[in-house]
Amino acid sequence: MKFLLIAFSIFSITAFAQEKESKSQVILDKLSTKIKGMKSFYIEFSASIKNAAGANESEIGKGWVKGDKFYASYGDNTIISNGLKTWTIVKEEKTVYETDASGGDEESINPKKLMTIWEKDFKNAFEKEETLNGETVYVIKLVPKEPKKVDYHTILLYISKTSNELKKAVMKSKNGTTMTYSLTKFTANPTVEDTKFVYDSKKYPGYSLVKD
């Protein structure tokens, strides 16, 4: 009898976990389908970084995404990618860092990654429903499949129940730092020329170019 009770308990816990993952996957798949159905999109967001010592920094940003290309400004910095190369322009250093787009920094967030981060390398689970800025949102927890390869341990996504849009993402790092991205504006299919996603050195006179 004791064995049966233990077995039933294990089965119940496993079934509950699978149900939570199934529910969250349906929500995420629906959001992915919506994003992939767009030729382009534009977002505005605020970002805050709080560390374990209590320091708190905040910036506002905006970004355009078109296929594999994106352009983002965040504080004084700009990131441009044409799908093959990515240029990170750091105003304070007057330096441009050029890398292969496929290489990427696993810890960095750009508008394309922010809106598709759940699609690979994560396990997901439905946490709850709650109210965010007056609307009901689904809260979904992401956990990296290979935690040793990244510095964060949890990402929480807040997705609107009615509009099926990502409203907020919270990234929790192992060192106690929490990064929060709150989307303040989202526009589907804006007209944006491909030239926006190409680095033009003439616009940044006096900047050093560093190639990875």
91-119: pLDDT as tens digits: 999 999 999 987 655 555 677 777 888 88
pLDDT of residue 121: 82
Question: What distance lies between CA 185 and its chain's CA centroid?
Answer: 15
Give CA angle at 110 (108, 116), nearest 5°.
Answer: 105
- Is pLDDT at 211 greater than 60 in this prediction? yes
Percent of the chain with pLDDT over 70: 87
- Is pLDDT at 129 greater than 90 in this prediction? yes
Give the torsion sign (CA, 181, 39, 193, 187): negative
- CA-to-CA dists, residue 10 to 5, 16, 148, 167, angstroms: 9, 10, 27, 35
pLDDT of residue 202: 93
- CA-to-CA dists, residue 114 to 97, 107, 170, 181, 206, angstroms: 21, 11, 11, 9, 31
In order of their start, the domains of the chain are: 2-211 (2.50.20.10)
pLDDT of residue 8: 37
Transcribe 85-102 into DSSP letters.
EEEEEETTTTEEEEEETT
> Average pLDDT for residues 165-177, to the nearest whole number?
91
pLDDT digits (tens, 9 = 90+) for 52-73: 777 788 889 899 999 889 999 9
